Structure 1
Amino acid sequence: MKKRFIIIILCTLALTACASQAENDEQQQEDVEVKGIHVEFELPKQAKVGESVLLQTTVTYGEDELVTDAEEMKFEYWKVDDEKNTVSVEATNHEDGTYSSEVKFEEPGTYEIYAHTTAKGLHTMPKKAITITGEQQENHDQESQKEEANAEHEHQQEFEIMLNPLGEITVNQELEITIKLAMDQQPYKNARVRYEIIPENSEKHDWIETEEINAGEYVNSYTFKKAGQAKMIVHVTDDTGLHEHKEFQLEVNE
Structure 2
Amino acid sequence: MKKLYMCTAMLLVILAGCQESEMPEDKEVNSAVPESMDASIVIKGKLEPGKEVILETTVKQGSQLVNEADEVLFEVRKSGQDKREMLEAKNTGSGMYQVMHTFEEQGKYIVVSHVTAKGLHVMPEKEVVVPEHESEGASVHPSTDVSIEFQSNPVKAGNSSNFEATVELNGKPLTNADVNFEVWKEGSEESHFTKAEEDGNGTYLNKVSFEESGTYKVQVHVEKDEVHEHQLQTIQVN
Richer in helix (by share): 1
Q: Structure 2 length as normaliser, TM-score?
A: 0.49
Q: Which has the larger radius of gyration?
A: 2
